[in-house]
Structure 1
Amino acid sequence: MIYDDLSTVSLAQLLATDNWQSKYRLITDWGRLIAPKPDLRQPMYVIKGCEASAWMAHDYSEGRHRFAFDSDSRVIKGLAALLLVHIDDKTDGELAQLNLAGLLREAGLEKHMTPSRNNGFRAMAIRACELAGVEAGLN
């Protein structure tokens, strides 16, 4: 599985961005960090509930969860990058402590995004938790 280098993705950077247009630009820039993964584009990896086509795979090795993601939408890829930096390479315990439902609110994105993008982010978070077999604050 191919994992993307998301080391430049930072919630702090997003929080420091002062207006919605700049936040949106940053998210689309992050979307460019997620490389196309043709092998991932199979029915078994589809994320249901995401309006844009999106796929996620999971691997569990040496007590750590790894995730690979792809989408046709650069914005969805950017939102996935924000999610992945919080969930990738984590243990069960680390994942269980996360509040993924509050991530968009904390980032100041929830009020600016369309309901379909908010739902898409939630669908990605739910799918990641299903794949990992943990609950991570999705309410």
Structure 2
Amino acid sequence: MASQAFEEIVDDFAFLDEWEDRYAMVIDMGKALPPLEDALKVPSTKVEGCASQVWLHPEIDGQTFRFRGDSDAMIVKGLIAVLAALYNDLPLSEVGKVDAPAELARLGLNEHLSSQRSNGLRAMVERIRHHAAEAV
């Protein structure tokens, strides 16, 4: 059920043997992510449960889900980019059906993220699912 953009990340990860290379790729994805405007970094967009500062701003266009996000930590910003590839441009009705833990496991993230980062990633997924469910 993953998007083409997410499948491309999976394919790219498959070519990288070392976790350090994958980690660097996630950081590079974060660097490429446009920053979220300060006006959108407000309490209503802040994700609680993350060790870093994280903001996710939903952008619903008709029945299509999108979000933009930002973080003060580069690896987390990269994880936001991974989640954007997984969720952006899905129909609202499909967002809740994505098995994010299974999809992210395809990248090997489960074994290599600290427990704090894993908790933050779960919090971001829950916020995304909440925004989509609220819009339906």
Give the TM-score normalised by the residue count of structure 2: 0.86
Quote the offset at 1:12 in angstroms. 1.6
Look up the SS of the partner of 1:84 in the other structure.
helix
Q: Quick check: 2:13–2:22 contact (8 Å CA) kept in 1? A: yes
1:129 and 2:133 aligned: no
Q: Quick check: 1:15–1:108 contact (8 Å CA) kept in 2? A: no
Give the TM-score normalised by the residue count of structure 1: 0.84
Question: 1:79-117 CA distances to partner (integer Å, 9 max, x unpaired)?
Answer: 111111110111023323311122332111211111111
Q: List gaps (5 residues or longer) in structure 1.
A: 1-5, 135-139
Query: How far apart in 2 are the matches of 1:70 and 1:40?
Result: 10
Q: List gaps (5 residues or longer) in structure 2.
A: none
Query: How far apart in 2 are the matches of 1:63 and 1:109?
Result: 30
Query: How far apart in 1 are the matches of 2:98 and 2:121?
Result: 15
Letter in 1 for 2:103: L
1:20 and 2:19 aligned: yes
Query: How far apart in 1 are the matches of 2:96 and 2:123?
Result: 17
Query: How far apart in 1 are the matches of 2:39 and 2:103?
Result: 29
Runs of 4 or more, structure 1, over 6 Å off, are none
Aligned residues: 128
Question: 1:11-37 CA distances to partner (integer Å, 9 max, x unpaired)?
Answer: 221232111110111010001111222
Aligned-pair identity (%): 27
In structure 2, relative to structure 1, the CA distance for the partners of 1:114 and 1:15 (3 Å cut) is same
| Backbone CA RMSD of aligned residues | 1.8
Q: Quick check: 1:54–1:69 contact (8 Å CA) kept in 2? A: yes
In structure 2, relative to structure 1, the CA distance for the partners of 1:15 and 1:39 (3 Å cut) is farther
